[in-house]
């Protein structure tokens, strides 16, 4: 697509997303989930699609982000975290926040979650990114599983019983806030990635994907590029996790915080469906995934996972390069045909 | 006498019980083209791998511009300006030729900040000029993985030059290249040496190429240094002839 066409398409999509809450006021939960899915698909693709590091472990940052924002709301609401979590289930009425307490706790929490996870990502990445291929994938899978188990053993965050978020005070349009905060980072992250993938940093990420040994033998700073990319991804996952937890209003260690059988798989599926290694692929993949997921959960309840599985099989078999990959291949074929026609 | 840029001294390397290099000492003069030949399995590529840090050596020392590099990592050695190309081409197959070239611009430090810049106009000009230099101008927008083996070799050579190395280790640069293109490649290797001042250390099986190219040649056989000398001396050395043709 030509640049002006791409820009117009981008603008149309952006305007649609801006007005979507007014068009679909009864679907705010699904819309905010969509923003979260776009974020995690883009952030996963940064590692898996652009850099060739297929990670299952990003749910670590997703879950930590969630716990940080919940804890921040409690603490900045003037309560002690241990008292709050130990009282859960029986005495929530004592922990009522004012709108300003809630919003300050939420805002500070989401900022802290993102920043802390960025540095945590740097730290972890410098160690785990020395592994490659299957070893890296399996290790990151283990991180996700282990994280849930560790969370289950920490009483101050509710241990195995999980942790409720403080109830949003009346008058706080939670899902609108979550949706627009998600959209804000989607827009910023999209602009950032569009720029990053055209810089040398992005080129080196692609070089690592195509032949890391070659990149290293050319003196490229592969280790620091990998760690930095992983940390950026961790930042976004923590932000998305904070939104997701707030939307669900309850953190279960393995079902919500570190859900490697749902979010941990979906983040990869969305990127594959849309087209790995492309800027639009994860966005399109997330939109398609969310639409079909909601349709299946609504109309095929009981068989929804089977239907989702079938959809994935169909896409992988008929569009192995994803939707964007199929589109790009079609464009190439059309250009070749046009060139051939022009010659004859 | 020329200044020595690479000093390999008593280097040994073994894999389990297999001795790949045994007590090898070679000096490579700066600004020259030096050849390394030997039958298959004689340890040539292993020696290249040892020089650029692909694997640790068992004993001996390797110095590049007087600096001990035998325990340094691949990337650190590359950032000193010492690069190698491979027998089997190593290019970034999912990107076009130009992007392969732009990625190969030199980085001589750990600072990531310059990586957050888009390539400059000068970078594109240099990439295009080097692609033209190796005869790949018309193929520059094709995916590197779709190029023929010979073209990938040329691209890999151009990528190495883009990195502005002071010394380049070329592992069989003419292998897989159409015989009609080999003369052109010899000219380009000589031009890279003369115009860009790159010291070349070349492994080559094509005797016509290496005799035409190198000023000094070292011969390995069974992991040991068999002979060293000018192309004429090597061609007339009975030990070399025996190593290649067998002792019958």
Cα separation, A116 vs A110, in Å, equals 10
- Calculate how close chain B gets to A55, using CA atoms only, in Å: 21
pLDDT tens digits along A188-247: 999 999 999 999 999 999 999 999 999 999 999 999 999 999 999 999 999 999 999 999
CB-defined contacts A:B, below 8 A: 93
Chain B residues with beta carbon closer than 8 angstroms to that of A230 = none
Q: Do A210 and B94 touch (CB under 8 A)?
A: yes
Residue A199 touches chain B, beta carbons under 8 Å: yes
Q: What per-residue confidence (pLDDT) applies to A302?
A: 87
Among the partner-chain residues B93, B115, B163, the one whose CB lies closest to the CB of A225 is: B115
Helices (H) and strands (E) in chain A, counts: 13, 2
Tokens at A142, concatenated: 């283990």
pLDDT tens digits along B197-212: 999 999 998 888 999 9
* Chain mean pLDDT for chain A: 91
- Under 8 Å CB-to-CB from B11, ≥6 apart: which residues? B21, B23, B24, B25, B47, B50, B57, B59, B60, B61, B62, B70
Kindly identify which residue of chain B lies nearest to residue A228, measuring between CA atoms.
Answer: B112
Q: Do B115 and A215 touch (CB under 8 A)?
A: no
Q: What average pLDDT values come out for chain B (248 residues) when binned by 10 residues? A: 90 91 95 93 93 94 95 93 91 94 86 84 95 92 91 92 94 85 87 92 91 93 92 90 68
Q: Do A217 and B75 touch (CB under 8 A)?
A: yes
**Do residues B35 and B55 lie in contact, with contact meaning Cβ atoms separated by under 8 Å?**
no
Among the partner-chain residues A203, A221, A225, the one whose CB lies closest to the CB of B102 is: A203
Q: Do B92 and A199 touch (CB under 8 A)?
A: no
Residue A201 touches chain B, beta carbons under 8 Å: yes
Sign of CA dihedral B204, B206, B212, B215: positive
- Calculate how close chain B gets to A229, using CA atoms only, in Å: 12
Q: Do B75 and A220 touch (CB under 8 A)?
A: yes
Kindly identify which residue of chain B lies nearest to residue A205, measuring between CA atoms.
Answer: B103
Q: What per-residue confidence (pLDDT) applies to A93?
A: 63
Whether A1 has a pLDDT exceeding 70, the answer reads no
Buried b (16+ CB within 10 A) or exposed e, A157-181: bbeeebbbbbebeeebebbebbbbb
Among the partner-chain residues B79, B99, B102, the one whose CB lies closest to the CB of A219 is: B79
pLDDT tens digits along A137-188: 899 889 888 999 999 999 999 888 889 999 889 889 999 999 999 999 999 9
Backbone angles phi, psi at B238, to 5 degrees: -60, -30
Among the partner-chain residues A209, A211, A216, the one whose CB lies closest to the CB of B75 is: A216
pLDDT tens digits along A325-337: 888 888 888 887 8
**Do residues B169 and B48 lie in contact, with contact meaning Cβ atoms separated by under 8 Å?**
yes
Q: Do A224 and B112 touch (CB under 8 A)?
A: yes
Whether A55 has a pLDDT exceeding 80, the answer reads yes
Q: Would you list the domain boundaries of chain B?
A: 1-81+166-248, 91-164
Cα separation, B150 vs B158, in Å, equals 13
Kindly identify which residue of chain B lies nearest to residue A193, measuring between CA atoms.
Answer: B116
Which one of A217, A231, A276 would you mutate to disrupt binding with B, by most B Cβ within 10 Å of its Cβ? A217
Top pLDDT among B75 and A5 is at: B75
Instruction: Find the DSSP H helices in chain B.
Output: 44-51, 74-79, 97-103, 121-133, 149-162, 179-195, 207-213, 231-235, 238-245
DSSP codes joined into one string, A28-61:
HHHHHHHHHHHHHHHHHHHHHTTS----STTHHH
Cα separation, A223 vs A209, in Å, equals 13
Average pLDDT over residues A119-123: 95
Smallest CA-to-CA distance from A232 within A119, A344, A341 is with A119
Which segments of A99-190 are extended strands (E)? 163-164
List the CATH code of the domain at B1-81+166-248: 3.40.50.300
Average pLDDT over residues A38-42: 98
Whether A52 has a pLDDT exceeding 80, the answer reads yes
Q: Do B112 and A222 touch (CB under 8 A)?
A: no
Contacts for A339-343 with beta carbons within 8 Å, 24 or more apart? Answer: none
- Calculate how close chain B gets to A115, using CA atoms only, in Å: 19
């Amino acid at each position: 697509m030509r640049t002006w066409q791409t820009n117009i398409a981008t603008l149309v999509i952006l305007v649609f997303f801006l007005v979507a809450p007014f068009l679909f006021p009864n679907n705010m939960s699904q819309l905010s989930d969509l923003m979260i899915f776009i974020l995690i698909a883009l952030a996963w693709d940064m590692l898996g699609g652009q850099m060739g590091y297929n990670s299952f472990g990003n749910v670590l940052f997703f879950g930590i982000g969630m716990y940080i924002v919940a804890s921040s709301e409690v603490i900045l609401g003037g309560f002690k975290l241990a008292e709050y979590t130990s009282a859960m289930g029986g005495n929530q009425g004592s922990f009522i926040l004012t709108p300003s307490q809630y919003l300050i706790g939420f805002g500070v929490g989401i900022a802290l979650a993102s920043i802390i996870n960025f540095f945590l990502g740097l730290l972890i990445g410098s160690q785990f990114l020395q592994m490659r291929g299957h070893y890296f994938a399996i290790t990151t899978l283990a991180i996700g599983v282990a994280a849930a188990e560790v969370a289950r053993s920490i009483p101050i965050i509710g241990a195995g019983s999980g942790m409720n978020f403080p109830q949003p005070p009346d008058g706080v349009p939670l899902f609108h806030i979550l949706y627009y905060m998600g959209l804000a980072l989607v827009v910023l992250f999209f602009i950032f990635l569009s720029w990053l993938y055209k810089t040398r940093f992005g080129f080196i990420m692609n070089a690592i994907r195509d032949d890391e040994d070659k990149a290293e033998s050319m003196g490229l700073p592969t280790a620091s590029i990998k760690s930095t990319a992983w940390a950026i991804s961790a930042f976004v996952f923590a932000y998305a996790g904070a939104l997701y937890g707030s939307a669900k209003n309850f953190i279960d260690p393995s079902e919500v915080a570190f859900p490697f059988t749902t979010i941990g798989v979906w983040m990869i599926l969305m990127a594959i469906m849309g087209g790995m290694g492309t800027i639009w692929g994860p966005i399109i993949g997330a939109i398609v995934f969310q639409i079909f997921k909601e349709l299946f959960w609504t109309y095929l309840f009981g068989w929804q996972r089977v239907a989702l599985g079938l959809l994935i099989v169909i896409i992988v078999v008929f569009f192995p390069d994803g939707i964007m990959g199929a589109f790009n291949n079609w464009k190439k074929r059309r250009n070749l045909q046009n060139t051939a026609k022009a010659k004859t | 006498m020329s200044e020595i840029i690479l000093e390999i001294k008593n280097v040994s390397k073994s894999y389990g019980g297999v001795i790949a290099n045994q007590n090898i000492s070679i000096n490579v003069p700066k600004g020259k083209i030096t050849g390394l030949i030997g039958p298959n399995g004689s340890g040539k590529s292993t020696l290249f791998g040892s020089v650029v840090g692909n694997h640790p050596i068992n004993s001996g020392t390797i110095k590049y511009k007087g600096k001990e590099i035998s325990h340094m990592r691949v990337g650190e050695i590359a950032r000193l300006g010492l690069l190698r190309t491979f027998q089997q081409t190593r290019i970034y197959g999912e990107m076009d030729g130009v992007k392969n070239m732009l990625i190969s611009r030199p980085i001589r430090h750990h600072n990531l900040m310059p990586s957050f810049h888009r390539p400059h106009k000068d970078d594109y000009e240099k990439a295009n000029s080097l692609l033209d230099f190796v005869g790949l101008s018309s193929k520059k927008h094709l995916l590197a993985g779709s190029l023929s083996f010979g073209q990938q070799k040329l691209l890999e050579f151009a990528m190495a030059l883009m990195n502005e190395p002071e010394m380049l280790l070329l592992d069989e640069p003419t292998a897989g290249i159409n015989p009609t293109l080999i003369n052109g490649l010899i000219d380009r290797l000589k031009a890279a040496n003369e115009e860009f001042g790159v010291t070349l250390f070349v492994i080559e099986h094509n005797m016509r190429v290496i005799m035409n190219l190198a000023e000094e040649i070292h011969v390995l056989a069974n992991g040991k240094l068999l002979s060293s000398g000018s192309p004429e001396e090597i061609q007339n050395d009975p030990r070399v002839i025996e190593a290649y043709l067998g002792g019958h």
